Structure 1
């Protein structure tokens, strides 16, 4: 084509027909996540993808619908989101079936916000999500993910660690390399503030504020999820006021006897307040005994009256 000669305008009818015929992959409806695992998992996996972004970040499509920014150096949680598009299908399905429009969901240990995003869609504009994540990097990505999916108006991010009834002080928070989901509070309480704290916080460590859930003014959750890498026992102690004020509250609590200070006593306490159940691999609540929960490994307990 001679220089300066305008290209012929494409046939607008052909362009519209070609666009209409172009294969499209529709987003997975959130209601479908409550169905049988097989077909829903396959639909989510078909849409899973990950794209490198600036700042050591990956952009993933999760649950066949959400855009999620995750840490590219994360070798525990992020690979599942990038390659499969989901995390803990049993918990995903359970929440998709249980959470209703207008409810309040507390996500204790929200990480990048996988469950916070799902809950924000399920509770709708009349509901509310309170996401607690003390890891500085993860909390920043969590805020971005809510905004990226247009859900920031339904969720409130608290960059604090949920802890016991006497929480409120600053504590040391371990940041394992390559595993932000396993970041955890150290047992020592660091009361006070100032230069003395800084000298006790080296590489792989952060200082984070702590708070009991009871200390969050006016919170009346319908569902509380606690996945806190060993701080579940303290956090449960710090939400007794919430439980007393909301007898119908439902609690999902990740239990591991190795990470619990007094696992048998803790299970006995849980069983004394709630019917003790655990989530199966299919996302169904099944009665279990304390002995079964002590069997080893992570167990997602479902506590409800």
Structure 2
């Protein structure tokens, strides 16, 4: 009841919030009706009103292990109804982070027109492939995607989606963590597959850890050497590494220092970075001749994305310490 009251109060106090919320949910309903999906529709209604999704709760209770294929962003994704997190979310809604994804898609289209040769993508923290498949679809046979993901559950689903779409010539996937050194790291497996992360003492644990595994870790520089890719040929870096982004950026100096057209799209987890690390990360990006294209935030309690009116690294420096934001950067 408190959630319903909060949403109503938010709509009354700031009516401008209503339109993007309506637009976001209209797209979801249109998908459900087009596909004749009654379960997700009912789940969306209970989730929107009560913050309790009857459909995903039912899937978890049923424990269905039969994989499902859904068309998402122009590609077919193989999804696991029993896997909490992104897999269930995509099965439920048919999309996620749609504002951020649309901005990123526009940047990919722009790059495809600007770059005459192959558009090479580093997909770091690829998870089950939501963005890797989007990249493969948009770039077509002009794209080469090097995807890195340490969680074996995610790699398995991503590999199935690659095979299902016939993207084997566009996407290479490797089960590895990406960081600022080569070696072995402890990786925390969480029930929510998109929350799994490299284990760190400073990491604030807000979700239960299911188990821990040892995984290989490599820097971007090492991975490029192994794949015989020159740093100056990298045009896209897309990452979501749950607070490990500073380590990833420290391991790719040659990519950041080169002068090729470059798009970087990443989730900035401010709450998981101490002040020194956070400032150093922003300094590194600012010194790499990158400009801010967009910064998006998840707005609650209405739960939809908004684009913030931020266009400088000083704006990012002032972000709330408890927040995570999506950031799209560009070097022309």
TM-score by length of 2: 0.67
Q: Which of 129, 137, 140 pairs up with 2:153? A: 137
CA-to-partner distance for each residue in 1:132-178, whole Å, 9 max, x for gaps? 111011101111111111212211101111101xx2101110001x2
Please identify the structure whose Cα radius of gyration is greater. 1
**Equivalent pair of 1:61/1:67 in contact (CA under 8 Å):** yes
**d(CA) in 2 for partners of 1:212 and 1:48?**
45
1:28 aligned partner: none
2:168 aligned partner: 152
Q: Give the superposition deviation at 1:205.
A: 0.9
2:258 aligned partner: 245
Q: Give the superposition deviation at 1:76.
A: 2.3
CA-to-partner distance for each residue in 1:162-219, whole Å, 9 max, x for gaps? 101xx2101110001x21111111137xxxxxxxxxxxxx960111111111222215
2:103 aligned partner: 94
> Aligned in 2, Cα 1:207/1:222: closer, same or farther, shift over 3 Å?
same
More helix by share: 2
1:192 aligned partner: none
**Equivalent pair of 1:163/1:234 in contact (CA under 8 Å):** yes
Q: Give the superposition deviation at 1:302.
A: 1.9
**Equivalent pair of 1:173/1:205 in contact (CA under 8 Å):** yes
2:323 aligned partner: 297
> Aligned in 2, Cα 1:90/1:72: closer, same or farther, shift over 3 Å?
same
**Equivalent pair of 1:48/1:64 in contact (CA under 8 Å):** no
**d(CA) in 2 for partners of 1:121 and 1:54?**
31
**d(CA) in 2 for partners of 1:247 and 1:304?**
10
1:126 aligned partner: 142
**Equivalent pair of 2:271/2:324 in contact (CA under 8 Å):** no
TM-score by length of 1: 0.73
2:218 aligned partner: 211
**d(CA) in 2 for partners of 1:254 and 1:285?**
17
Counterpart of 1:121 in 2: which secondary structure?
helix
1:171 aligned partner: 185
Q: Mean Cα displacement is larger for which, 155-164 or 277-286?
A: 277-286
Runs of 4+ displaced beyond 4 Å: 36-45, 52-55, 282-286
**d(CA) in 2 for partners of 1:282 and 1:132?**
28
Alignment of 1:269 with 2:295, yes or no, is: no
Q: Mean Cα displacement is larger for which, 238-247 or 38-47?
A: 38-47
Q: Mean Cα displacement is larger for which, 122-131 or 280-289?
A: 280-289
Q: Give the superposition deviation at 1:44.
A: 4.4
**d(CA) in 1 for partners of 2:243 and 2:83?**
20
- Aligned residue pairs, count: 254
Q: How does 1:3-152 map to 2 (within 5 A)?
A: 44-45=31-32, 46-47=34-35, 56-63=65-72, 65-100=74-109, 101=112, 102-152=118-168
